[in-house]
């Protein structure tokens, strides 16, 4: 077989063609573009029933439903969504590195966080509250004085109760909220505290239905937003438009009922975009 000699000019053309092909062959997600690239990566929690929970069958929760709706409005099919576990301490870093395109993970909007990331939303107004046994009653924070209050180690929620409402509460800190729930069920503790949305999610689990209820004290305001890489105003605007549509077409109401209904969660109405309740 006779091979044709490649001239210098031909080699140059071939090299340029190969270079152009290589540049155009990146099939990865177009981070921050929101224009229906191949994939979109979304940060969520994996361990919060009712909000963001990884199960053998996939992912469930209100944050998951919100994130999925937003992604579809950005042009991504459900199969093109990649959920990535994003723990609280890692959220700002994950956005800055481009590990995720946005984060929907009980991410309260605060002035401190806004220095590092941008937020769309808020899409839910939650409150710090107490989870108590179904046959108990707590009408105000100081009812916890002398009672056993449970939360996870390092939680600011329990410290907030002791500092502002019940200085004589007996604080017990454990590794997981599930441990608190077991203690609440057995009578070892009298109340569990964190955001009411998180509490409602746990109380809605099949094994806990009818056993617990929210006290409804509204001890703080938590404006959940969708975190976006700092400076990506285009993405923020697109997500805000998607959130507004989710409220208008009642998908937001359905997501609340589907994920929190069994706990009789008295949720706030869907917040207006940009309306941060202090």
Span 26-50, pLDDT tens digits: 433 444 444 556 899 999 999 899 9
Q: What is the pLDDT of residue 35?
A: 54
Q: What is the pLDDT of residue 72?
A: 98
In whole angstroms, what is the distance from residue 91 CA to residue 105 CA? 9
pLDDT tens per residue across span 65-111: 999 999 999 999 999 999 999 988 899 999 999 999 999 999 999 99
Q: Give the 3-state secondary structure of the chain.
A: CCCCCCCHHHHHHHHHHHHHHHHCCCCCCCCCCCCCCCCEEEEECCEECCCEEEECCEEECHHHHHHHHHHHHCCCCHHHEEEEECCHHHHHHHHHHCCCCEECCCCECCHHHHCCEEEEEEEEEEEEEEEEECCCCCCCHHHHCCCEEEEECCCHHHHHHHHHCCCCCEEEEECCHHHHHHHHHHCCCCEEEEEHHHHHHHHCCHHHCCCEEECCCCCEEEEEEEEEECCCHHHHHHHHHHHHHHHHCCHHHHHHHHHHHHHCCCCCCCCCCCCCCC
**pLDDT: which is higher, 263 or 13:** 263
CATH of the domain spanning 127-220: 3.40.190.10
Q: What is the pLDDT of residue 249?
A: 98
**Range 134-161 average pLDDT:** 87
CB burial class (10 A; 0-12, 13-18, 19+) of residue 204?
A: buried
> Among 124-138, 142-156, 177-191, 231-245, whose mean pLDDT is lowest?
142-156
Q: What distances in angstroms separate CA 221 from CA 146, 196, 197, 264, one per listed residue? A: 25, 10, 11, 19
What is the β-pairing status of strands 220-229 and 102-103?
Answer: antiparallel
Residue 131 has pLDDT above 70, yes or no: yes
Residue 64 has pLDDT above 90, yes or no: yes
Residue 2 has pLDDT above 70, yes or no: no
Strand partners of residue 53: 47, 60
pLDDT tens per residue across span 167-199: 999 999 888 888 999 999 999 999 999 999 999
**Range 113-122 average pLDDT:** 97
**pLDDT: which is higher, 216 or 242:** 242
CATH 3.40.190.10 segments of the chain: 40-126+222-263, 127-220
- Measured N-to-C along each axis, helices 233-248 and 251-260 cross at an angle, to the nearest 10 degrees, of 80
151: tokens are: 């939360």
Average pLDDT for the chain: 86
Residue 237 has pLDDT above 60, yes or no: yes
Q: What is the pTM of this model?
A: 0.79
Q: What percent of the chain has a predicted confidence (pLDDT) above 70?
A: 86
Name the most confidently modeled range: 117-126, 130-139, 151-160.
Answer: 117-126
Fold of 40-126+222-263: D-Maltodextrin-Binding Protein; domain 2 (3.40.190)
Contact 219, 141 (CB under 8 A): yes
**pLDDT: which is higher, 57 or 8:** 57
Q: What is the pLDDT of residue 167?
A: 93
């Amino acid at each position: 077989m006779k091979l044709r000699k490649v001239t210098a000019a031909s080699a140059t053309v071939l090299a340029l063609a190969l270079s152009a092909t290589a540049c155009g062959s990146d099939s990865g997600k177009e981070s921050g573009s929101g224009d229906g690239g191949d994939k979109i990566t979304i940060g969520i929690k994996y361990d919060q029933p009712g909000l963001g929970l990884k199960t053998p069958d996939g992912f469930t929760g209100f944050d998951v439903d919100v994130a999925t709706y937003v992604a579809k409005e950005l042009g991504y099919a459900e199969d093109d969504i990649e959920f990535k576990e994003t723990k609280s301490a890692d959220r700002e870093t994950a956005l800055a590195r481009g590990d995720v395109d946005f984060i929907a993970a009980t991410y309260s909007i605060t002035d401190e966080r806004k220095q590092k990331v941008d937020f769309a939303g808020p899409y839910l107004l939650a409150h710090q509250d107490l989870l108590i046994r179904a046959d108990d009653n707590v009408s105000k924070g100081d009812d916890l004085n002398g009672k056993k209050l449970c939360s996870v180690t390092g939680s600011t929620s329990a410290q907030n109760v002791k500092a502002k409402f019940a200085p004589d509460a007996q604080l017990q800190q454990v590794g997981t909220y599930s441990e608190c729930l077991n203690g609440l069920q057995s009578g070892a503790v009298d109340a569990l505290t964190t955001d009411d949305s998180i509490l409602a999610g746990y109380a809605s689990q099949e094994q806990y239905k009818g056993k617990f209820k929210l006290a409804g004290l509204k001890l703080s305001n938590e404006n959940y937003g969708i975190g976006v890489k700092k400076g990506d105003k285009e993405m923020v605007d697109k997500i805000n438009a998607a959130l507004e549509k989710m409220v208008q077409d009642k998908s937001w109401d359905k997501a609340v009922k589907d994920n929190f209904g069994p706990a009789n969660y008295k949720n706030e109405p869907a917040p207006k975009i940009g309306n941060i309740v202090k």
